Amino acid sequence: MTGLIGFAVIWGAGRGLGWPRALSLGLALLWLLLLVAVHAPGIGVPQVAAMLGGDFRLWLIFGGVAAAVLAYGAGLGALRARVKARPVAPLSSQGPFSEVELDRYARHILLREIGGPGQRRLKEAKVLVVGAGGLGSPALLYLAAAGVGTIGVIDADAVEGSNLQRQVIHTDARIGLPKVFSAEAAMKALNPFVAVRPYHRRLEPDIATDLIADYDLVLDGTDNFDTRYLVNRVCAGLGKPLIAGALTQWEGQLSVWDPARGAPCYDCIFPTRPAPGMVPTCAEAGVAAPLPGIIGAMMAMEAVKLITGAGEPLRGRLLLHDALHAESRVIAVGKRADCPVCGGQS
């Protein structure tokens, strides 16, 4: 209709000739008032109204909608200008994060449960991972990606070709390299802002206490019971939370053993070591390639929760995952008063 064409001509001329926006709006308003006037009952000009098209009510409604849209746009523009005008404190070299780190951890900082304070706690945390194999591989990668400031990893083995089916932190080019140095290379390549401490040796009783005492919490991804019971005993004695995972074939389990905070320790639930051969290792029974990734990533998630205080950790609960049938369940577990490791703790 001719009336609408008039608005289009005014707006097009304004854009083409570079008129100020206020001039274009003023001319459009005059055109609208003209349309309303020529259509107004009793005072309008029927011949001109017929030529321009529309009716009185239509142009009033059109004017009201246009006014609402313009008011909304003006309010939004004022809000944006106010936000842009707000002073932003410059990043100081003394601050906890550089601009690159802020961009790297932005998705964490956006989470209400983590935010800036939680990310700072991650940066200040020190986490020890025992074992750089199937469970340690994903756990180490995600701890580094999450920005845990200091990550220790202890393992006496070297990378072998058979590891690469599931130990995703290692590569074919690093076969023969000690696993801790291979893991260090991968973590530093992923996040150069974290400090990695590799310990190329077994975790033995003579060093366990001093080593674990230097860390805030421990992740145990080993596949032998001597080390599992040793790590549990030392962590319980030092009051350090222990996140421990285990797996075989298609099944995995995970818990947070933390008797210093009311949860049971590993010995509470598994007081008797299995007889030799009763629980075969991955090398003896096999393991599905993604399963260590599932459990190892969960271990890293529990570490992030413990450090930041987000959510509900697996204290006092044991998670069992059956990958073959895609089933998971969590069962409650409690302390034993007669546990020789933590029975006296509350």
Q: Which residues contact 84 (CB under 8 A, 6 or more apart)?
A: none
Distance of CA 127 to the CA centre of its chain: 17
Q: Is residue 125 within 8 Å of 100, Cβ to Cβ?
A: no
State residue 83's pLDDT score.
43
Residues 228, 218: Cα–Cα separation, whole Å: 11
Write down the pLDDT at residue 112: 94
pLDDT for the residue numbered 226: 93
Which pLDDT score is estimated for 96?
84
Rounded Cα distance, 57 and 45, in Å: 15
Distance CA 315, CA 306 (A): 10
d(CA 208, CA 212): 6
Residue 259 three-state SS: helix
H/E element holding 124?
helix 115-124
Structure tokens that stand for 100 in this block: 């690159």
CA dist 38 to 25, 34, 50, 302, Å?
20, 6, 9, 73
Distances in Å between the alpha carbon of 20 and those of 13, 23, 50, 77? 11, 5, 32, 17
Helix, strand, coil percentages in the chain from 3-state DSSP, rounded to 5: 50, 15, 35
Query: 98-118 as b/e, with b when 16 or more CB fall inside 10 Å?
Result: eeebeebbeebbeeeebeeeb
* Strand pairing class (195-199; 150-154): parallel
pLDDT tens track of the chain, all 346 residues?
565 565 555 555 656 666 676 666 666 666 566 656 655 676 666 655 566 566 656 656 666 666 666 666 666 566 555 544 444 444 344 468 999 999 999 999 999 999 999 999 999 999 999 999 999 999 999 999 999 999 999 999 999 999 999 999 999 999 999 999 999 999 999 999 999 999 999 999 999 999 999 999 999 999 889 999 999 999 999 999 999 999 999 999 999 999 999 999 999 999 988 877 667 777 778 899 999 999 999 999 999 999 999 999 999 999 999 999 999 999 999 999 999 999 867 6
> Residue 130, CB half-sphere, CA atoms under 13 Å: how many?
31
Place of tokens 């906890």: 96
